[in-house]
Structure 1
Amino acid sequence: MSSPVLENILLFANPDVPDLGCFVRRKHELEVNEFDRNIHVELNPSIDFHPAHHQVYFRVQCGHAGHFQRALVKMTPDLSIPGPVLEHFPPDFVLGGDFHPQPSNWFKFPTQSGQRFYWFFGQHRDPAGGDWLSDKLVGHTYDLYENGTLSTVKYDDTGGDRDFDDFVLEAAVVGRRSWRDILQAVDQAKVSELVAKEGLAGVRERMYDEKAD
């Protein structure tokens, strides 16, 4: 599978934390799909948010588990590889690891355009040893913001107590505009201001004068 083409990050803002803007509303509380097992997917475009360019952030929020916990994170341009197969591919990022859950800093992909899928595979391992095993259940809440969306992703490792607090992640999809778009918008604002002050005829006259010079 070829890697998606990454955007030139120099054209976009690239803050260390997701700049989501003001909270709008919670679209839904914890939703669990038994068939998802340990797989959570963020996507762009979505029905709620579809910017031309976007950036995805993610981090460990917390966790209360006896097992070690981790999440493998992978970005793909399509759904050509089924999730259970993709879980065995080398990840782009790993959250957590051979220790009990603890909060982490934000991680992020470079700004992207077009269709992207972001996979989060929850896994756990007995501290006494053994292999990493896929978690049994995952659910998420979903919040809408002025400039993006935020999912709180909650894993239940063995599925025994269904408390969904063994490993908790946050995943944010943030809208991005290139510096060139922003500069064009500023230039357009200046033109609009001139039109308001001098009228369209005055702006045209000034443009012709500048061309003549």
Structure 2
Amino acid sequence: MSVLDRDIPYRNVLMVIPKRRVEKEIPLKKGYSYIPYEDALFEPWCQLQTACNLFDSLEEAKWCLSRFLEEDRAFFEDNFLFVVDEERTLVASAGLWPGHHFEEERLRVHYVAVLEQAQHQGIARAMLSKLCVHYDSIPSRYPLYLATQSQSYAAIFMYSRLGFTPYLGAYKEHTKEESEADWEFVTEILKEKSYSA
């Protein structure tokens, strides 16, 4: 997991796990642990997301988190993960949240973020495995999906190692041909950056 590479042209792409592939949760490394959401995490979550370039400003992150909590606080608390280090500093977060890329609402992996100083510790992979296992306990239908972008090529590589594959079909305001062209572009970026998804 890394921050977005803003030097890469932006292309939105979707990835899916078409059926259950993650059989067990990958544990966090020693020194990191999960904690439940509490209001004291509001500001740190927003700072984390902004530091990872998932929002353009802290205000935008605050608006988004406020909206999540207003829409369904209980669902947010049950389906988002918060990872802290030994000093209880929030270093990572990811969750499941309803997505609207298809005709019917379906759950997606959302807002995967790991602070730079905590990256390359397997935290994102551990969180994604935990979310995939958790998804199996929810009355949902596969595929589980996520939206990502060309600027997140390191994350795309990590997602592919967990079993997510490129979605090449049509979705909201996106044709099959556009999906295929976007993935062709992303595949070239992965090759250029020495990742093989």
Name the TM tier (shorter chain): under 0.3
If the length of structure 1 is used for normalisation, what is the TM-score?
0.25
If the length of structure 2 is used for normalisation, what is the TM-score?
0.26
Rg (Cα) greater in structure: 1
